[in-house]
Structure formats: C-alpha cells, structure tokens
Structure 1
Amino acid sequence: MTSTPHVRRARPEDLRRIAELAAEHAAYEQAVPPPGDLAERLAVLLFDGPSPRLRCFVADPDPDPDPDPGSDPGSGSGSGSGSGAPIGYATCAPELSTWDGAEYLHLDCLFLRDGHRGHGLGALLMDAVLGEARALGLAQVQWQTPPWNTDAIRFYDRLGGRATTRQRYSLPSA
C-alpha cells in the first residue's frame, strides 16, 4: 500500500531532523547555519511549559499507519510513529501588531527539501499554519521571503498572499 505524505504537529522525536532541515534551509538561503544545539533549543520552545509559544508542523513522507480515530489530526497523537523522517517543516508563533492593535500568527519558516517541492506539501504546511491561526482566534498570518526566491514568491502569490515591501534588520543585543 502506498502512503501519502501528510502534515502533522512536530513531536519530540522529530527535533533532530527538524534541526537538520533548518540547517538545509539556512544553506539554501545562504545564511549563517543554526547553532549546533538547535534541537535542544527547539525542545524548550516547542514542548516545555504549559503553553509553548512556538508551533511546528512537519511534512511526513510516511504517515502514521494506524492513527487513533479520536485524535486531533494535527496533533500527531496517532498510535503509530510514522517510519519516515520529516521532509519539510513550518514554524510559527503569535506576534503583536501595534498598528492593528491585534495579534497575528508569524510564519517564521516554511521549508521543503529539494525534490519534494511542487507536490502540494507546501500548501498543506500553509493549511496547518492557517488552521493554527484560526484555532488561536487570530485573523491573519504574516511572513517574509527573500526577494531572490522567485519560486517561493510564485507559491505565496498562488495561495493569495499579498506582499509588502520592507527591509528586515537585526541587531545583536550583546
């Protein structure tokens, strides 16, 4: 039986693979690689405390063979573990907009490994993020992509995203 890749919430056992995917993502964007302890840092942000701020969804090439029929489909709480390593991820967290006087969901990263793009998994990851925004009662998702990433821009345009022009800055605090 052929399984169809699907999107689910990340689980603690996915952290090593998510860190690997983040390193691939950084290389793809010609950015500084993530820290070596990224999996441990993500564990704190995703799973520690009663209400972690960061949310992560993964594209799983081999979904749970025997999911619990009463479980939340996005929760990853099926009885099987899925035998494939995630091939993509999306992370998001609530943020504040002073101008709107409201929260929105910030899509921090959306990445699929080369060879897995163009097969509908990006749209499934975005659907999971939009579902999270709705579940949190947030009316909007915002994100950014590098201006040279024309494939991502076409993808986001096809989804109905609207681009704004801004420069992103960062400044070390130490």
Structure 2
Amino acid sequence: MTSAARVRRAERADLPRVAELAAQHARYERAEPPVPDLADRLAALLFDGRDGVDGPAPRLVCLLAELPGGEVVGYATCSPVLSTWDGREYLHMDCLFLAPGRRGLGLGALLMDAVVAEGRRRGLSEVQWQTPAWNEGAIRFYDRLGGRALEKVRYSLPVSR
C-alpha cells in the first residue's frame, strides 16, 4: 500500500481534476467522453445548495485517492438508490477509477473502504456497483473484497426532450 495515501471528500477546487480522471475512465472503458461541462455539473450535484443543513443532503458523494504531496490519482462516486424489491435504499457506487500506474498499490481498497463507510454513515446495509464484463482486473479485485457478482445486463434509453 502507498504509505500515507489517504481518501478524502472532493472539494470544489478538485473538480477539474475529477473531470480529467473521468475522461481517462471513459477512455479506459471504451465509452464516449464525458460532457465538456462535467466539472460544473458535478458541482451542482456535490455542493450547490445541498449541504444537509441548509438544504437536502448532496445527491452525489465523490471520494478522492490522494498520494502524499497532494496528487489526486483516483476517485469513487456514490449515491443512494431505492430498491423496490427490498423496500429500502442502498448505496450505488457509480464509479471507481485509479489512474494508470496507480493500480495495485492498495488505493482501490482505500476507496472501497471509504464507500462502505459512507453507506454505513447513511445507515444503509449494502453497496452495489457494476463493472464491464471484460474488466478482469476489476472483477478479481472486487472478488477479493468479498463482492458478489449479480447477473444482469445494463440498458440505456435516451429520453427525448
């Protein structure tokens, strides 16, 4: 494990770096690039008028893997989602990504620990996530953590405006 590495919540000033990492993540997963104004969109979900005190809690949580010296090399995002079948919320981890050359150092486990802690803090009993079927490294990582794979196919359907 990278000594003295830490995981912390993203701050507004981190959002350009988060957007860069998201672009790397999209390339890695062979997906379309993020929208050009991603940092602004994330700010609205993470910070704007949603602090849990003066308004509703943030809709999205962004956790950052930071090396000694302050270099942000990875991120995880999560948010609560409803399960109809269970009649409860669970924490959905939308993204977990580490920059190339920063994998295998224990940072992914630190991010997962922080995501699980977020679920626990919210009183939720489960975290769910997905990864591409071809991402064998991620599958091995999640299996080592004790994750249980669920067989589903994810769909997307654009909504016309």
State the TM-score, normalized to the length of structure 1.
0.85
Aligned partner of 2:88 in structure 1 is 102
Measure the CA separation in 1 of the matches of 2:24 and 2:71.
14
Measure the CA separation in 2 of the matches of 1:3 and 1:17.
22
Summarize deviations over 1:56-114 as a string: whole Å, max 9, x none: 1000113xxxxxxxxxxxxxxxxxxxx53310000000000001111000000000001
2:64 pairs with 44, 50, 58, which one? 58
Shift of 1:21: 0.1
* 1:67-78 alignment runs, 5 A limit: none
Measure the CA separation in 2 of the matches of 1:85 and 1:23.
17
Q: AA paired with 1:8?
A: R
Q: Is 1:128 matched with 2:133?
A: no
Q: Is 1:15 matched with 2:11?
A: no
SS in 1 for 2:72: coil
Aligned partner of 2:149 in structure 1 is 163
Measure the CA separation in 1 of the matches of 2:9 and 2:119.
14
Number of aligned residue pairs: 153
Q: Is 1:24 matched with 2:24?
A: yes
SS in 2 for 1:134: helix
Shift of 1:33: 0.3
Measure the CA separation in 2 of the matches of 1:28 and 1:102.
33
Aligned partner of 1:44 in structure 2 is 44
1:116 pairs with 99, 102, 112, which one? 102
Shift of 1:48: 1.4
* 1:78-93 alignment runs, 5 A limit: 83-93=69-79
Q: Percent identity?
A: 66
Summarize deviations over 1:115-144 as a string: whole Å, max 9, x none: 110110000000000000000000000000
Shift of 1:3: 6.3
Measure the CA separation in 2 of the matches of 1:20 and 1:135.
28
Contact preservation (8 Å) 1:14, 1:85: no
Structure 1 segments unaligned to the other structure (5+ residues)? 63-82
Shift of 1:54: 0.2
Contact preservation (8 Å) 1:17, 1:85: no
